[in-house]
Structure 1
Amino acid sequence: MSVSKKELVDTIHNELQVTGTPISKAQVAAVLERFGAAAIRALEMGFDVPLPGLGKLKPTERAARTGRNPATGEPMSIPAKRLVKFAEAKALSEALNG
């Protein structure tokens, strides 16, 4: 099960209202969109992206390698690829695992 963008915006909006920070749902959605765009730019440049209280997104590279075609069993070349890995924060790990 996953949380939808609307549910995330609603949750953040409600929590900010409780803490006395009036911000509209449209503003919350705009901040999330801008954060996503900024995170993509940072990852493209090779920088880690912190997710406060959760962990970090880290850009990594997977080297080119030889694999096997599952249908025919013949060797095939798999090109190098850039990936994003998530490194969880200690607080998140403890919250999930008690």
Structure 2
Amino acid sequence: MTKPLTKTQLVAALAEEMGTDKKAAGGALDAVCALITREVSGGGAVTLPGVGKIYCRERPERMVRNPATGETMQKPADKVVKMTIAKALKDSVNG
């Protein structure tokens, strides 16, 4: 398994793919990340074609256990960010 790309490496690869400079590629990446964050935190979803769908899901109130003490307690309802991976990406990884 290889290490994940850092933001610098991702910006450099994106600049090369787009045929532009790193500053423009970095700005594009930051804009996409800001858009995804805004949409998902507002309760919406974002579909990245060929990659997957990022969305927010609400989890109900539930009982949890503290592993250190064994004590059970009520955890309030919260939200969690989920991602469903696109079939095209799954197929390219497995095929």
**TM-score, with structure 2 as normaliser:** 0.89
Tell me how far apart the structure 2 counterparts of residues 66 and 84 of structure 1 sit (CA, whole Å). 20
Give the partner amino acid of 1:11: A
Runs of 4+ in 1 over 2 A off after TM superposition: none
Tell me how far apart the structure 1 counterparts of residues 9 and 74 of structure 2 sit (CA, whole Å). 42
Q: Which runs of 5+ in 1 are unaligned?
A: 18-22
Does the CA contact (< 8 Å) of 2:15 and 2:24 recur in 1? no
Q: Which residue of 1 aligns with 2:92?
A: 95
Q: Secondary structure at the match of 1:2?
A: coil
Of residues 38, 60, 71, the one that matches 1:41 is 38
Q: Which residue of 2 aligns with 1:16?
A: 18
Deviations 1:26-47 (A, max 9, x none): 1110111111111111112211
The count of residues paired between Structure 1 and Structure 2 equals 93
1:4 equivalent to 2:1? Answer: no
Tell me how far apart the structure 2 counterparts of residues 68 and 60 of structure 1 sit (CA, whole Å). 22
Q: Which runs of 5+ in 2 are unaligned?
A: none
Of residues 41, 57, 61, the one that matches 1:60 is 57
**TM-score, with structure 1 as normaliser:** 0.87
